[in-house]
Chains A and B, each alone.
Chain A
Amino acid sequence: MATLSCPNCGNPLTYTSPALPVKICDRCQSVVVRHDDQLERIGEAAVLPFDVSPIQIGSMGLYEGQGFTIVGRIRWGWSAGSWNEWLALFDDGSNAWLGEAMGDFMLLREADMATNPQLQSWAGGGVPALGSTFTDAGVSYTATDVKSAHILASEGELPFRCTTDWTIESVDFRSSGMECASFQRDEDGASFYTGKVVSLGDLRMHNVRAIEGWAMPELVNR
């Protein structure tokens, strides 16, 4: 954990983990990258459009026995909508993405594609088509969603530089159970994430955002 001053406006910036070198300054929207103790301002992030997501920076939860804190967010947009991906930092220093769309949540960790031949073939080039399948650990996944997306805005601490010209092809996979996966290709390469469909209750989320006029559900309000 390190607290340094924003090179643009002097606002204190907290860097919770070495794995998350990028921080969006709350006050001036500067994107500031940390190299050891040096800070470099590399640009400005767009202001987040208003939304009624129940998650906020600082929300905490429990997944597979490990506690996590939400430290950052990227809002992705595509031609017919947008969604949030919240960055969850676990107690052991690892991180995962909590994807939020249409009120449903998925928690996904980055995974290695080398272990699965079908994934490897996609890693080599191209993007899985709608309806394509692969099997991993006995679970069959089907691609249910393919879209081109770009970053609309971001906040908090993030593992990579996220400039708003960054466009990805994103493919969502679902199974007949709670498992889900996501394949992303951008100009630098492909990455792959696996995880589960979850609810706020499953994650024992607390410190969620209070929204005027709505009572926080019991499971969540601690």
Chain B
Amino acid sequence: MSGEEEIGPWEAASAPASTAPTAAQSAPQSASRAVTCPNCGGTVEIRAAGYTVSVACQYCGSMLDVANPDVALIERQNLATADLAIPLGSRGHVKGAEYQMVGYVRRSIEGEGWDEYLLFNPYVGYRWLVHDEDGWSFGTMLTSLPQMSGGSANYAGVHFSHDGDTWDAVVDRVVGEFYWRVQVGDHALLANYEGSSATLSCETVADEVSWTVSEPIGRGEMRGFGKSEAGATDGANNTGQSAFASGPSGDIAAAPDGPLARAWFYSKIGAAALAAMIVVMILFASGGNSAQGFSYRLTMDGPETTVNFGPLEFTGASQRVTIATASPGLDNAWVDTDITLVNRATQEVISTYGVVEHYSGYDSDGSWTEGSDSGSTKVASVPAGSYDLVIDASAHSWPSPSYGGRVIDVTTDVSSGGVFFSNLVLALLLLIIPPIFLLWRGLKGRGGSSSSSGDNDWGDDE
């Protein structure tokens, strides 16, 4: 080309940065350049100048082609970029390097969509953060080809198998800048290959094939990316750490994503609730009315005896009543009790029963024992009042009735208060249902269609 080269809508560049090899490092080059939108005249910032081919004007939404020095208008489209999980231009740290989010596409397969965030670092290149219903994953384009055999791909010594489906993905939304031409409505054929801890994505557009490897990551592995870069970077500092866009652990600290990470998160909440309940249980153990004890005697294998004790005062509006029966030294016999609490005022009856049994003997394995010489029955929701305790009791010898009228001593202790342990078990089971369900879904989701978080990555939620 002869004559003065028209610089066009690119801002006047400084003299081409060719320095003599021995020259000292000149002042750091600016990281971005501006382009004038041919549609609205707005100034559009290009962060990956030289690589970027398409950029969406943030003012009028037009898609601009900047592959050539002349900026060509491709298409108008909707704005609304403020709703992105990672704001355009924000910086963050992931997988050991800092990146800036420079482009966003939303794509979908048969209506089910996901977000793709294009990250850029001039020294590292491009990476992807993909967000779908299973959570986040980190993608890198392959620079060498996987080895194909049948329905499988081999890459970096890892085996990836094809799930059998090829999907038509369509671009629904575009924000920011990209190193290839992309606009809303573009189609691509996707095929996914699952490996043990990563996924290979094979994307075909008009015979051209590109491969990406993606691994699931937890939200805790992404730091920053929370605010737009305006005012958040220290431009002069390029020797040390670049300023991050937000504070430690970033704004992504809210509830983690992906069924497995959620399951873990919920388990922690559930465990906290359970701990509180155990504390309550301990506190209540000491409350209530203290025990009152009664004794009576039973004739072994004799007729059923009825004993009547009272009044028993239960002061709480409603309480648990424990009736503990014991016969010290009981052996090879059982004591049957029908227990009735009768409210003196209302004559309301609460019936229950208790069995105390103990057996022992010798066999080929040695001596054995079974049961205990004491036992207790717990009654729930006993209303306040004065009660009579009526016990119909009988004692029986095992294995066969005895003769001789041996008499045994039985004591009964009645106390109120305390918490049913079975309630705690029930609470635990109920609390554990959602985490178990999510765990099942997360493990099942490995064969998902678009992308999956596959293996568990228990992201930290900070």
Contacts and interface: CB of A to CB of B under 8 A. Distances in A.
A214 B238 contact: yes
A103 interface: yes
A118 B120 CA distance: 38
B25 interface: yes
Contacts of B76: none
A47 interface: yes
A200 B23 CA distance: 21
B97 interface: yes
B346 interface: no
A65 B460 CA distance: 43
A179 B145 CA distance: 10
B124 A211 contact: no
B123 A212 contact: no
Contacts of B83: none
B338 to A, nearest CB: 82
Nearest to A52: B122
17 contacts: A47-B5, A50-B33, A52-B48, A56-B17, A57-B19, A58-B23, A77-B68, A102-B141, A174-B145, A176-B146, A210-B29, A211-B31, A211-B238, A212-B236, A213-B233, A216-B239, A217-B123
A13 to B, nearest CB: 11
Nearest to A48: B16
Contacts of A155: 16, 18
Contacts of A212: 28-31, 235-236, 238
Given A47-B16, A69-B21, A84-B50, A216 B123 contact: yes
B242 interface: yes
B21 A54 contact: no
A156 B145 contact: no
Given A174-B144, A212-B30, A213-B242, A52 B18 contact: no
B123 A175 contact: no
Contacts of B121: 103, 214
Interface string A43-67: 1101111111110111000000000
Contacts of B179: 81, 102
Interface string B178-209: 01110000000000000000000000000111
A158 to B, nearest CB: 12
Interface string A18-45: 0000001011010000000000000110
A194 interface: no
A219 B141 CA distance: 21
A57 B21 contact: yes
B82 interface: no
A137 interface: no
A207 B238 contact: no
B296 interface: no
A200 B121 CA distance: 13
Contact of A197 (B20, B49, B143): B143
Contacts of B144: 174-180, 197
Given A58-B20, A176-B147, A53 B68 contact: no
Interface in A175-190: 175-180
Interface in B34-75: 47-51, 53, 67-69
The size class of the interface chain A forms with chain B is 35 or more
B145 A80 contact: no
A213 B242 CA distance: 6
Contacts of B1: 44, 46, 164-165
A55 to B, nearest CB: 10
A66 B137 CA distance: 38
B125 to A, nearest CB: 2
Interface in B262-301: none
A215 interface: yes
A85 to B, nearest CB: 13
Contacts of B2: 43-44
A50 B394 CA distance: 101
Interface in B106-162: 120-126, 141, 143-147, 154-155
Contacts of B30: 211-212
A91 interface: no
Given A56-B18, A102-B51, A176-B145, 7 more contacts: A52-B29, A57-B21, A82-B50, A102-B125, A144-B145, A180-B144, A215-B241
A197 B450 CA distance: 29
Contact of B50 (A27, A53, A80, A197): A53
Centre residue among B10, B11, B143 by max chain A CB count within 10 A = B143
Interface string B1-17: 11101010011010111
A37 to B, nearest CB: 21
Nearest to A77: B68
B98 interface: yes
Contacts of A213: 31, 233-235, 238, 242
A132 interface: no
B10 A214 contact: no
A80 B48 contact: no
B240 interface: yes
Interface string B342-369: 0000000000000000000000000000
B234 to A, nearest CB: 8
A155 B33 CA distance: 20
Contacts of A170: none
A83 to B, nearest CB: 8
Centre residue among A47, A82, A208 by max chain B CB count within 10 A = A47
Contact of A58 (B21, B143, B235): B21
B209 A144 contact: yes
Nearest to A51: B50
A51 B51 contact: yes
A113 interface: no
